[in-house]
Amino acid sequence: MTLPPARPATATARPRRVWLRMFLTGALLWVLAVVVTFVTGNPNLVPTVVLLGSFLVPVTFVAWAFGRRRSGEVTSELLFSTFVAGGVLGVLAASLLESYLLHPSAWLFAGVGLIEEAVKLAVLAVLTRHLRVKFATDGLVLGATVGFGFAAFESAGYAFTALFTERGLSLMDLVQTELLRGVLAPVGHGLWTAILGGVLFSASDHRHFALTLRLLLSYLGVALLHALWDAMHGIALVLTLLLTGTPWQYVQLEQGYQPQPTALQADVFTVLSWGGLALVSVIGVGWLLAVRARARRGERQAAVLWRIPAGRPPR
């Protein structure tokens, strides 16, 4: 195996917790942009609100992950290009494939999960194929970067769409959408693609990536988590109806009407919906930690073979 270059000296001198300062500064700027837009009603400020709100959490997590890279080949320039190119190419490719391949059905969300996770994995492999040594830890970092890039551009689209309502432009709907997606961002696209990145890099050498059974199963598992996440609203709705539905509500559904939910049903739906998302998140985080632990064990073993101190980039 060809050893990677040492981490640049400037990286060791980088101030700690840069990501925290980035988040606090970005959050303050976003709040100021929202307040000024509310006060002035200036539509020219809407793009500022959309971009700051959509990119704040993804960029913060990428900055946090950058400090945990293994190889000096993973530079800030590589992360920037991977974030932007991965996000844009991922969103465009997924949109094209979903438009032509998917149709309304019970399997719609399964198709979305399979397509989007395949696109992000392919983009990650293409953008990082030049790396001489592919540490699994770097795969986690770069996979998360592609995933958060995808999430940032996707969130910007959702926020922009939320602006337009039947009542006209609604800044409140835009802000609520950005807050919700910002809170959920750490356990979405970035998490799922980080898992795939760690598995992809762990089975690869310095020349090329390897398509293994573990990678295929991981891809299917991540796509399933993605599908469950997207479908959780509908799953919670069906479960609520099965658990608390009344005969009259079933009659209304058979007649093509939407029954009015009771207060109890609204509470049950909320618990099931958020509980389902929490369960998917816990499974994803646990899986990521397992991939990370396996990556560290493998790197420690390699460090012993090469007589390299574990946890430090080889020189």
Q: For 144-163, how does the pLDDT look when each residue is reduced to its tens digit (9 = 90+)?
A: 999 999 999 999 999 999 99
CA angle, 279 as apex, 243 and 91 as ends, to 5°? 110
Please determine, for residue 296, whether its predicted confidence score (pLDDT) is greater than 50.
Answer: yes
The per-residue pLDDT for 175 is: 95
* Better pLDDT: 206 or 285: 285
Share of the chain above pLDDT 90, in %: 62
* Per-residue pLDDT band at 11 (split at 50, 70, 90): very low
Residues 101, 211 contacting (CB under 8 angstroms): no
> What predicted TM-score, i.e. pTM, was given to this entire model?
0.86
The per-residue pLDDT for 6 is: 43
* Better pLDDT: 308 or 116: 116
| Greatest C-alpha distance within the chain | 73
Nearest one of 285, 117, 298 to 203, comparing CA atoms: 298
Name the least confident of 99-103, 116-120, 310-314: 310-314
- Mean model confidence pLDDT for the chain: 88
The per-residue pLDDT for 285 is: 97
The per-residue pLDDT for 315 is: 47
Q: What is the mean pLDDT of residues 177-192?
A: 95
pLDDT digits (tens, 9 = 90+) for 91-107: 998 888 888 887 878 78
The per-residue pLDDT for 227 is: 96
Q: What is the mean pLDDT of residues 76-86?
A: 91
Phi, psi angle pair for 164, to nearest 5°:
-95, 120
| Other CB atoms within 10 Å distance of the CB of residue 6 | 14
The per-residue pLDDT for 303 is: 65
> Distance between alpha carbon 260 and the CA centroid of its chain, in Å?
34
For residue 130, CA distances in Å to 78, 81, 133 come to 11, 14, 9
CA angle, 61 as apex, 190 and 197 as ends, to 5°? 40
Residues 192, 200 contacting (CB under 8 angstroms): no
Please determine, for residue 5, whether its predicted confidence score (pLDDT) is greater than 80.
Answer: no
Residues 188, 182 contacting (CB under 8 angstroms): no
Please determine, for residue 212, whether its predicted confidence score (pLDDT) is greater than 80.
Answer: yes
pLDDT digits (tens, 9 = 90+) for 16-70: 688 999 999 999 999 999 999 999 999 999 999 999 999 999 999 999 998 888 8
